[in-house]
Chains A and B, each alone.
Chain A
Amino acid sequence: MSTLMVILEAALGTLGAALGAGITVVGASIGIGRIGSTAMEAIARQPEAAGDIRSNMIVAAALIEGAAFFAIVVCLLILFMAPAAG
Chain B
Amino acid sequence: MNRKLISYLLGALLFLLLFAARPVQQDHPQDHTSTTPDSELNSTENLTESPDAHDAHVNAEEGFSPSNFIFDHILDSYDWHILSYKDFHLSIPLPVILYSETKGLNVFMFNKFHHGHSDYRGFRYETHGENRHKIMEIMEDGSTVLPKLDLSFTKNVLAILISIILLLLVFLSVAKAYTRRPNQAPTGLQNLMEPIILFIRDDIAKPSIGEHKYRKFMPYLLTIFFFIWFNNMLGLIPIFPGGANVTGSITVTMVLALFTFGVTTLNGNRNYWQHIFNMPGVPWWIKVPIPLMPVIEIIGMLTKPFVLMVRLFANITAGHIIVLGFFSLIFIFGQMSPGLGYGVSVLSLAFTIFMSMLELLVALIQAYVFTLLSAIYLGMATEEHH
Q: Which residues of A contact B (CB under 8 A)?
A: 55, 58-59, 62-63, 65-66, 69-70, 72-73
Q: List 9 A-B contacts (CB under 8 A).
A: A62-B366, A66-B314, A69-B310, A69-B314, A69-B315, A69-B318, A70-B314, A72-B318, A73-B314
Asked whether A62 lies within 8 Å of B365 as measured between CB atoms, the reply is: yes
Decide if B166 is an interface residue (CB 8 Å cutoff).
no
Interface of A is mostly: helix
Decide if B380 is an interface residue (CB 8 Å cutoff).
no
Shortest Cβ gap from A31 to chain B (Å): 15
Can you list, as one digit per residue, whether each of B274-316 has a CB less than 8 Å from chain A (1) or not (0)?
0000000000000000000000000000000001001101110
Q: How large is the interface on B (under 10, 10 to 19, 20 to 34, 35 or more residues)?
A: 10 to 19
Can you list, as one digit per residue, whether each of B368-379 has a CB less than 8 Å from chain A (1) or not (0)?
110010000000
Chain A residues lying within 8 Å of B313, measured Cβ to Cβ, are 73
Residue of B203, B311, B365, B368 near A69 (CB, 8 A) is B311
Chain A residues lying within 8 Å of B311, measured Cβ to Cβ, are 62, 65-66, 69
**Whole-angstrom CA separation of A64 from B149 in the bound complex:** 38
**Whole-angstrom CA separation of A57 from B135 in the bound complex:** 46
Asked whether B310 lies within 8 Å of A58 as measured between CB atoms, the reply is: no
Given A66-B310, A70-B314: 15 more A-B contacts, CB < 8 Å: A59-B369, A62-B311, A62-B365, A62-B366, A62-B368, A62-B369, A66-B311, A66-B369, A69-B310, A69-B315, A69-B318, A70-B307, A70-B310, A72-B314, A73-B314
Shortest Cβ gap from A7 to chain B (Å): 22
**Whole-angstrom CA separation of A77 from B310 in the bound complex:** 13
For the complex of A and B, the 8 pairs showing the least CB-CB separation, nearest first, are A69-B314, A66-B311, A62-B369, A62-B365, A73-B314, A72-B314, A70-B310, A73-B310
Q: List residues of B (314-367) whose CB comes within 8 Å of A's CBs.
A: 314-315, 318, 365-366
**Whole-angstrom CA separation of A66 from B318 in the bound complex:** 12
Asked whether A65 lies within 8 Å of B310 as measured between CB atoms, the reply is: no
Residue of B314, B318, B369 near A63 (CB, 8 A) is B369
Chain B residues lying within 8 Å of A59, measured Cβ to Cβ, are 368-369, 372
Shortest Cβ gap from B333 to chain A (Å): 23
Chain A residues lying within 8 Å of B315, measured Cβ to Cβ, are 65-66, 69
Chain A residues lying within 8 Å of B318, measured Cβ to Cβ, are 69, 72
Chain A residues lying within 8 Å of B368, measured Cβ to Cβ, are 59, 62
- What residue in chain B is nearest A73 (Cβ atoms)? B314
**Whole-angstrom CA separation of A72 from B316 in the bound complex:** 13
**Whole-angstrom CA separation of A6 from B316 in the bound complex:** 37
Chain B residues lying within 8 Å of A62, measured Cβ to Cβ, are 311, 365-366, 368-369
- What residue in chain A is nearest B364 (Cβ atoms)? A58
**Whole-angstrom CA separation of A73 from B253 in the bound complex:** 14
Can you list, as one digit per residue, whether each of B199-241 has a CB less than 8 Å from chain A (1) or not (0)?
0000100000000000000000000000000000000000000
Chain A residues lying within 8 Å of B369, measured Cβ to Cβ, are 59, 62-63, 66
Chain A residues lying within 8 Å of B310, measured Cβ to Cβ, are 66, 69-70, 73
Chain A residues lying within 8 Å of B366, measured Cβ to Cβ, are 62
Shortest Cβ gap from B303 to chain A (Å): 11
Chain B residues lying within 8 Å of A73, measured Cβ to Cβ, are 310, 313-314
**Whole-angstrom CA separation of A73 from B316 in the bound complex:** 12
**Whole-angstrom CA separation of A72 from B372 in the bound complex:** 23
**Whole-angstrom CA separation of A55 from B313 in the bound complex:** 22
**Whole-angstrom CA separation of A46 from B302 in the bound complex:** 39
Shortest Cβ gap from A83 to chain B (Å): 10
**Whole-angstrom CA separation of A62 from B365 in the bound complex:** 8
Asked whether B314 lies within 8 Å of A58 as measured between CB atoms, the reply is: no
Chain A residues lying within 8 Å of B365, measured Cβ to Cβ, are 58, 62
Interface centre among A62, A63, A73 (most CB of B within 10 A): A62
Shortest Cβ gap from B232 to chain A (Å): 13
Chain B residues lying within 8 Å of A72, measured Cβ to Cβ, are 314, 318
**Whole-angstrom CA separation of A59 from B314 in the bound complex:** 16
- What residue in chain A is nearest B306 (Cβ atoms)? A70
Shortest Cβ gap from A42 to chain B (Å): 19
Chain A residues lying within 8 Å of B314, measured Cβ to Cβ, are 66, 69-70, 72-73
Shortest Cβ gap from B66 to chain A (Å): 14
Chain B residues lying within 8 Å of A58, measured Cβ to Cβ, are 365
- What residue in chain B is nearest A61 (Cβ atoms)? B365
**Whole-angstrom CA separation of A8 from B372 in the bound complex:** 46
